[in-house]
Amino acid sequence: DQQVKQNSPSLSVQEGRISILNCDYTNSMFDYFLWYKKYPAEGPTFLISISSIKDKNEDGRFTVFLNKSAKHLSLHIVPSQPGDSAVYFCAAMNQGGKLIFGQGTELSVKP
Amino acid sequence: DTGVSQNPRHKITKRGQNVTFRCDPISEHNRLYWYRQTLGQGPEFLTYFQNEAQLEKSRLLSDRFSAERPKGSFSTLEIQRTEQGDSAMYLCASSSRPAGGGNEQFFGPGTRLTVL
């Protein structure tokens, strides 16, 4: 069963606008969530994380929001830049420390 | 510190052959993870080490797969009698803190395996 889901396989946004990537999870025991960015032929690059005791974490243009009651998190990128075009993965960490990834959302930021 | 490195970057092999991949984690990171990623999917957990001890193995890791981390430094992942279904990107990651927060895992560039 897919414990972490990213239901939008792709997203297209205009440069300068906000990109919102969504992620849903099923296991309420997850206590840490991360977003990774991946370019083709490279490994995932860590972007931002959030602990389950928080509902928001911000780092520059990137903000992650966590809604525990809805088991939903989102990544906001403002303003979006063409260099942000990549595949974005959300991941949840279980008690043992391993990551469970969603299927990814391919973001395309158009100039 | 040059980050996590993996070798080789690409491996093409014939079905039935054995292959071995190497991962060098960020120095002083005590945790090392192996994941596998296929097209259109997110990475899937295979196994992880804390220092030299292998603490967890996924059901995805059949008996043809074996991983080691001698002396708690680099790690190797060996696949015996490769099958076409083993074709994937094999990713290694390392981290420095216990689970429960602040445990960002840093990934290497991956090894792309193609089994013909």
Instruction: Name the band, by pLDDT with cuts 50, 70 and 90, for residue B60.
Output: confident
For residue A67, what are the contacts with CB-CB under 8 A and spacing of at least 6?
A55, A73
CB-CB neighbors (< 8 A) of A95 in chain B: 99
Mutate to test the interface with B, among A98, A101, A103, A105 (most CBs of B within 10 A): A98
Query: What is the DSSP annotation of B18-66?
Result: -EEEEEE--TT--EEEEEEE-TTS--EEEEEEETTEEEEE-TT--TTEE
**Which residue of B36, B107, B112 to mutate against A (max A Cβ within 10 Å)?**
B107
Residue B101's pLDDT is what? 53
User: Which residues of chain A have a CB within 8 Å of the CB of B112?
Assistant: 41
Q: Give the model's pLDDT for residue A77.
A: 98
Give the per-residue pLDDT at B1: 53
pLDDT digits (tens, 9 = 90+) for B9-57: 999 999 999 999 999 999 888 999 999 999 889 999 999 999 999 998 9
Contact B112/A41, CB-based, under 8 Å?
yes
pLDDT in tens, B76-113: 999 999 999 999 999 999 998 655 455 789 999 999 99
Task: Give contacts of A51 with chain B, Cβ < 8 Å.
Answer: 101
CA distance B102 to chain A (A): 8
- For residue A39, the chain B residues in CB contact (below 8 A) are none
8 A C-beta contact, residue B90 and residue B29: no
Integer-rounded Cα Rg, in Å, for chain A is 13
What local confidence, expressed as pLDDT, does residue B6 receive?
97
Residue numbers in chain A where pLDDT is lower than 70: 1
Cα–Cα nearest to B47, from B93, B16, B4: B93
Q: How many residues does chain B have?
A: 116
pLDDT at res. B102: 59
B/e letters for A59-74, b = 16+ CB within 10 Å, e = fewer, are eeebbbbbeeeebebb
Tell me the CA distances in angstroms from A40 to B37, B76, B83, B93, B112, one per residue in order: 12, 24, 24, 17, 11
By Cβ distance, the residue of A31, A36, A102 closest to B100 is A31
- Beta-carbon pairs below 8 A across chains A and B: 71
Q: Do A103 and B41 touch (CB under 8 A)?
A: yes
Distance CA(A108)–CA(B27), nearest Å, equals 35
* B36, β-bridge pairs: B44, B90
Neighboring chain A residues of B91 at a CB cutoff of 8 Å = 43-44
Q: Please report the pLDDT score of residue A60 as a whole number.
A: 97
Phi then psi for residue B83, to 5 deg, are -120, 160
- Asked whether the beta carbons of residue B55 and residue A96 sit closer than 8 angstroms, the reply is yes
Residues of B in Cβ contact (< 8 Å) with A31: 100-101
Query: Which residue in B has a C-alpha nearest to residue A43's C-alpha?
Result: B109
